[in-house]
Amino acid sequence: MTHKRLEGRQEAILDPDLPIIDTHHHLFLRPNVRYLFDDFMDDVRAGHRIVASVFVEAQSMWRPGGPELLRPLGEVEFANGMASMAASGLFGDCLACAAIVAHANLMAGDAVAEVLDAALALAPARMRGVRQIVFTHPSEALKPFMRYTCAPGMLSDAGFRAGFRQLAARGLSFDATVFHTQLDELGELAAAFPDTPIVLDHLGLAMNIGLDDSQLRQTFADWRAGLQRLARHNNVTCKVGGLGLAFWALGFNTRKDEVGYLELATAWRPFVETAVEAFGAQRCMMESDFPPDGISCGWVPLWNAMKHITRGCSADDKASLFHGTAARVYRIALPA
C-alpha cells in the first residue's frame, strides 16, 4: 500500500502559529515502513508548529533477549534516547518524545510492577503511561488489517486488572486502543479505577469495514452513544485522530490520487465534532497517529484538516485541543 505522508506539502499552513502537541505518534523500523527520528522531524519541519510530542509504543526496538516481560524496556530506552536528542535543540524547537507511553503486559498481574519500575528508572523525566492494545472484534473482514490479535474480555480479566492496579500508585496513565463495541467495557474499567487516568486512543475506533450504508449509519449511532456514555467518567480523556486508519472505512487509504485537507475535513468532521461535544475541549487532544495514518493522507493536510474543522472554536478551546489538554494529562512542560 502506498504511503502518503509526504503528499500535500504544497498546501498553505492554516493557523501556522498555533502550538501543537502531537499526542500520538510512533517511531519504528519494519520491513514495509520506516519511521524514525529523522522522519518525524522532517514532518515537523513541514510547517505546522509542533512544539512537543508523545511517543506511543509500537512493539518495536524491544530487547532481543532476556525475560519476555522485560523485553519492551528496550523501546523505552530507545524513545528516551530520541527525546534526549530532541531536547538538545540541535534538531529544532520540537520536544519530540517529551512523554513516553510504553508497552507493558498487564495480563501478568502484580508481576508487571517490575516492568513499570524499571521503565520509570530508565526514563524518569518522561515515562508517563502504558499502552497495551486490547482491541478485538468478531468480524472476519478485519483479519487482513489486524497486526495484533487480542483475546476478548481483557479489560475485565482479573489478571489484567491486577496489573492495571499498579498504574495509579506510580502516577501512570493507560492508553486504551479499543473498538467502539468495547467502549462500555472500558467505561466499567474507568469506574472500577477512578484514580487512574485513561486516554481513549483514536476516538474509540468505529469498526466499519465491510458494512453497507445502513450498517454504517447504525455503527455511527452506536459509536456516538458509546462515546457519550464513556465521557461520563471524569478520569477518561479522548485523543482526536486515527481517522486515517482503515477501520473507519472512509476510503482514503485506497485512493491513488492526492487528498487535500478540505476533503479530509468534510469526512472527518462528524467524528471530531461528536467527540468534542461528548468530552469537551478540555478533555480532548489532537493526534497525528503517524505513520499509520499516513496510509490515507499527508502530514500537512492532516493537521490542516483538524484546524479547519475546529476553526469556529474559541481560542481557549483550540488551545486545549491542540496542546493544553495534552500538556496537563501527560505532564509536558513547554518552554515559556
Q: Mind listing the pLDDT tens digit for each residue in 307-335?
A: 999 999 999 999 999 999 999 999 999 87
Starting from the edge strand earliest in sequence, which strands make up the sheet with 127-131, in order? 20-25, 50-56, 95-102, 127-131, 173-176, 198-200, 236-240, 284-286
Report the predicted TM-score, pTM, of the whole model to 2 decimal places.
0.96
- Determine the pLDDT at residue 253: 95
Q: How confident is the model at residue 152 (pLDDT cuts 50, 70, 90)?
A: confident
Q: Which of 1-5, 254-258, 269-273 has the lowest mean pLDDT?
A: 1-5
pLDDT of residue 140: 74
Residue corresponding to grid cell 472527518: 268
Q: What pLDDT digit, counting tens, does each position of 208-219 carry?
A: 999 999 999 999
Strand 34-35 with 28-29, pairing: antiparallel
pLDDT exceeds cutoff 60 at 272: yes
- For position 78, what pLDDT does the model report? 98
65-74, 143-152, 161-170, 262-271: least confidently modelled range = 143-152
Stretch 173-185: mean pLDDT, rounded? 97
How high is the pLDDT of residue 235? 98
Note the pLDDT of residue 32.
Answer: 82
Percent of the chain whose predicted confidence (pLDDT) is above 90:
92
pLDDT bucket at 89, cuts 50 / 70 / 90: very high
Decide: residue 261, CB within 10 A, 0-12 exposed, 13-18 middle, 19+ buried: buried
Provide the 10 A C-beta neighbour count for residue 28: 16
Structural domains for the chain: 20-329 (3.20.20.140)
